[in-house]
Amino acid sequence: MNRFKCNAGKALLRVALGVCAIGVASLSAAAAPDNNGSTETVSARPNVLLIVADDLGYSDLGAFGGEIPTPNLDQLANQGMLLTNHYVTPTCSPTRAALMSGTDNHLAGLGTMGELLPRAPKLQGKPGYEGYLNDRVYWLPEILRDAGYHTYMAGKWHLGKEPEQWPVARGFEQSLALINGGGSHFAPVPGKPIFADRAQYVENDQRTQLPADFYSSNSYTDKLIQYIKQDHGDGKPFFAWAAYTAPHWPLHAPDEDIAKFKGKYAAGYEAIRTARLERLRKLGLIGEDAQPNAGLPTSKDYPSWDMLSPEEQADEARRMEVYAAMVHNMDSNVGRLIQTLKDLGEYDNTLVIFMSDNGAEPTDSFFPANENTDNSLENIGRRLSNVGYGARWAEVSASPFRLFKGWTTEGGVSSPAFVRLPGQHAATPRIEVPTHVTDIAPTILDFAGIPLPEGNQYNGRSVHPMSGVSLAPVLKGEAGSEQLANRALAGELFGGRYVRSGKWKLVSVMTPFADNQWELYDLERDRSESHDVAAEHPEVVKHMVQLWDDYALKNGVVFAPNKRMPDARRGAPSEIKLSGETAH
């Protein structure tokens, strides 16, 4: 079948982008808002469970308007606080660098993705563009380990491929880590390698081979449960990072999970998106009168559902069925983690944080098929298949926002996120002011009662201060959110830029979907970024540009827009190889 999907997405995520924060060091106390949630007496040093999904769109979870059954994550969200304006970077490794350091990704080493550096001579050798989590920032797991926490992770690392850059060298006591940006969710089929099988795994300081029954979400969860259980009872709290690779390309899921969604997506993109928008309104996540972004103009590259042949519709529906199965399976594994904590008597002493690393992935596949690849309809989602779900389904996942992973629009940098406090069993009001990925590390340290040392020195090395802020006072109801609402957030990746201050967002969007000129949106009225009001508010544009310039100077941003970004609408080449590494 002639594929029509997002060549622009393929090219873009060869190039990868990122977002950053201009923040203040801490929030001062303010009048405490009413807190309707009940909390129990908990330890002064709670456990921390950090759950990160990979390429999950804003409206994929039930708690955020999705139709995919996610009862375990929904229950956590409904016991906690939704972060409805949580910002990440447009792609995964810059987000992970900011998450693990509490610092802008341009300072932490991922000013651009490491896979892109060979093709970006202007960035090579520049501070903050090392392509891995550098040693000039704090490492969250190291700080927690040094303060007496067990530190565990299982899943995607993507923050350095050399042994001295692995999780064990950044403070994780125990880790099973996917070093690459992506790879098969199953173990390789003996004698039939496909490109996605090139992923490298390490456990602690040793490379490891995957067992025959490996499936990413199941196996990561097994390993975290093993780590938590083996040390339980020694009196030390733990920090556990469940770094799931679901629902990242390639779309793979166990047959029993895929079977649950057979026929569920036969109605097509538009119908599923319309239903999500109605649920978003009922949940109050968008206003009754809010209009979603219209999406990409219909064309041969981005067809509507009724433009597809029956065979193409069946293929498209199958891809979304597998995507839904991946999300549902991940949710089931989160349920296993939570049940383990309950069985061990640790659930009510655990801070739970959930987020996605960026927006939904718009690509239908990253690398060409070889003689072993089987992308037949009946095999999509199984071993040897190698597909994504493309731009139109990514627009569904990003509802109600504009575009998706790779862009600095809301669909690329808005993450579904929530926090469940230790002992919390009833929801508290949503935090609707902007929060940022760099806030997570200082928030965790605040709950753990761990102050950062003065002087920006740690273990003999000079480090940048954390640029995020602790959300703990707001989460606990001890402070208002005014300072969060009024700070400026900004980011850049691949030449795509944004800055948000108050209700305003200034954004420049890369080709192929715009010309990289500044656009201005009033997010209080138009979070879908449908109506550019730059011409009506030149004074706001001038002020916002100055904020972005200040941010870029402070964080060492090297502004080098990618000049090779192809446009799918003009017949762009579909593949760009990157020395055998996945570029996302």
Q: What is the pLDDT of residues 313-371, one digit of tens each?
A: 999 999 999 999 999 999 999 999 999 999 999 999 999 999 999 999 999 987 788 99
> Is 531 a residue of the active site?
no
Alpha carbons 468 and 20: distance in angstroms, whole number: 10
How many residues appear in the chain? Answer: 584
Alpha carbons 388 and 404: distance in angstroms, whole number: 14
- Phi (first) and psi of residue 19, to 5 degrees: -130, 155
Q: Is the pLDDT of residue 452 over 70?
A: yes
- Worst-scoring range by mean pLDDT, 147-151, 352-356, 399-403, 570-574? 570-574
Q: What is the pLDDT of residues 75-117, one digit of tens each?
A: 999 999 999 999 999 999 999 999 999 999 999 999 999 999 9
Nearest to 3 by CA among 321, 278, 499, 364: 364
pLDDT at 569 (0 to 100): 27
Query: For residues 450 and 359, is the Cβ–Cβ distance under 8 A?
Result: no
Which residues sit opposite 464 in a β-bridge? 137
Query: For residues 210 and 184, is the Cβ–Cβ distance under 8 A?
Result: no
Q: How many CA atoms lie within 13 A of 310 on its CB side?
A: 0
pLDDT at 368 (0 to 100): 81
Helix axes 310-343, 390-397, angle to 10 degrees: 40
- Which domains are delineated in the chain? 7-570 (3.40.720.10)
pTM above 0.85, yes or no: yes
Q: Is the pLDDT of residue 292 over 80?
A: yes
* Confidence at 535, pLDDT banded by 50, 70, 90: very high
Annotated active-site residue in 86, 106, 158, 248: 158
Q: What is the pLDDT of residues 164-217, one digit of tens each?
A: 999 999 999 999 999 999 999 999 999 999 989 989 999 999 999 999 999 999
């690392």: which residue's tokens? 157
* Confidence at 563, pLDDT banded by 50, 70, 90: low
Q: Is the pLDDT of residue 12 over 90?
A: no
Alpha carbons 275 and 335: distance in angstroms, whole number: 26
- Phi (first) and psi of residue 329, to 5 degrees: -65, -45
Q: How many CB atoms lie within 10 A of CB 571?
A: 10
Query: For residues 468 and 103, is the Cβ–Cβ distance under 8 A?
Result: yes
Q: How many CB atoms lie within 10 A of CB 219?
A: 21
Q: What is the pLDDT of residues 465-506, one digit of tens each?
A: 999 999 999 999 999 999 899 899 999 999 999 999 999 999
Nearest to 582 by CA among 161, 214, 166: 161
The two tokens of residue 309 are 């042949």
Start-to-end CA span in the chain (Å): 26
Annotated active-site residue in 6, 20, 92, 248: 92
* Confidence at 562, pLDDT banded by 50, 70, 90: low
Mean pLDDT score of the chain: 89
Q: What residue ranges in 480-567 does DSSP mark as E strands?
A: 488-493, 496-501, 504-508, 518-522
- Worst-scoring range by mean pLDDT, 232-241, 276-285, 363-372? 363-372
């980011």: which residue's tokens? 491
> Is 6 a residue of the active site?
no
Alpha carbons 193 and 173: distance in angstroms, whole number: 32
């998106």: which residue's tokens? 273
Interval 384-399 mean pLDDT: 97
Q: Is the pLDDT of residue 11 over 80?
A: no
Q: What is the pLDDT of residues 114-168, one digit of tens each?
A: 999 998 999 999 999 999 999 999 999 999 999 999 999 999 999 999 999 999 9
* Confidence at 30, pLDDT banded by 50, 70, 90: very low
pLDDT at 372 (0 to 100): 96
CA dihedral 119, 124, 129, 132 (to 10 degrees): 70
pLDDT at 43 (0 to 100): 65
